[in-house]
Amino acid sequence: MLEWRTPAINDIPEMKRIISSSGAMGSDACAANIFLLREKYNIRIAIAEGSLFRLYTGTRIPGRSGITFPLGGDRVKALDMLAEDCRERNKIPHFVFLTEEQKEIVSSCFPEMCFDTSDGNSDYTYTAQHLAELQGKENVKKRNRVSHFCREYPEWEIRYSENEVPTSFTRDMISVEERWFKSQTERVDSTFVERLEIYEACRYWEQLGLLGAVIYVDNVPAAMTISSEISPGCFDIHFEKCYGEYAQAGGFSVINKYFAQHLAAEHAAQWINREEDIGLEGLRRAKMAYRPDKMLEKYHTRRG
């Protein structure tokens, strides 16, 4: 029987090692997300025989409550262990966040299962070069936004986390989050939850292996972003914030572009995952505006 537990900060090194070996690209498979979202989705993990198992039970959103495909180790052996664990607990295995390849493997092991997918759960992935260069007619508006910001604030600068003192740098990130939070006229539950996640990311910055950037205008923090590596060459954007006049002038486009350049140049990034839109139309429009290079569809199982 697998030993399920809430992910802890000291689980990060082993989770990263296993996930890195799997070559996973999904935002759900990112070690930092597994830790930071552990309460939001009531995440439980188990590590056995070199494989990482995850269980999500904290939401009723379709496709977000169930067991994920085991990462690392021997896939067939891991699925057998998972099936045995479900039998011992008298549970029917229900899989979530399956990639196309994982869906085919699950289908061969559990032929009685059927599969569904939800657009809101698909990850928007882009090549790092795409976001860094914004080439082509389809990116004209984004390039214009970047140019407008640079003209409006000629003294702006961007600083990267690796070159800064973590305590003061994360303090500036929280400053951006607080100003963004105050600018929101409608605050839903997820707004408060995300705020706590950002605080925790800053608290465990080094243990989580996070990377980030802050844009300053006249030495005032105006925009920030937080990221981490999922597996070699693939990075997840956890948070991205800009507020007020800086957002209206194109601050989001600026930090997106220059941070992508930094990840590509300094961390050999090939892919950048900007996560899913969870069915929110405004978020969908924003992510589609960058013309994703690949939509990473995620499947979940159901009984026929």
DSSP string, 17-38: HHHHHHT---GGG-HHHHHHTT
Cα three-residue angle 18-41-70, rounded to 5 degrees: 30
pLDDT at 304: 52
Contact 61, 278 (CB under 8 A): yes
What one-character DSSP code corresponds to residue 233? Answer: T
pLDDT at 110: 84
pLDDT at 181: 93
Stretches in the chain below the pLDDT threshold 50 = none
Contact 25, 229 (CB under 8 A): no
pTM given for the model: 0.95
Quickly count: other Cβ atoms within 10 Å of residue 92's Cβ. 10
CA gap 184, 173 in Å, rounded: 17
pLDDT at 129: 97
Please name the residues in contact with 213: beta carbons below 8 A apart, sequence gap of 6 or more. Answer: 158, 159, 160, 161, 224, 225, 255, 258, 259, 262
pLDDT at 303: 58
pLDDT at 32: 98
User: Where is 168: in which H helix or E strand?
Assistant: helix 166-183
Boundaries of every domain in the chain: 9-121, 123-275
Q: Tell me which fold the domain 9-121 belongs to.
A: Aminopeptidase (3.40.630)
Are the folds of 9-121 and 123-275 the same? Answer: yes
User: Where is 226: in which H helix or E strand?
Assistant: strand 220-231
- The CATH code of the domain at 123-275 is 3.40.630.30
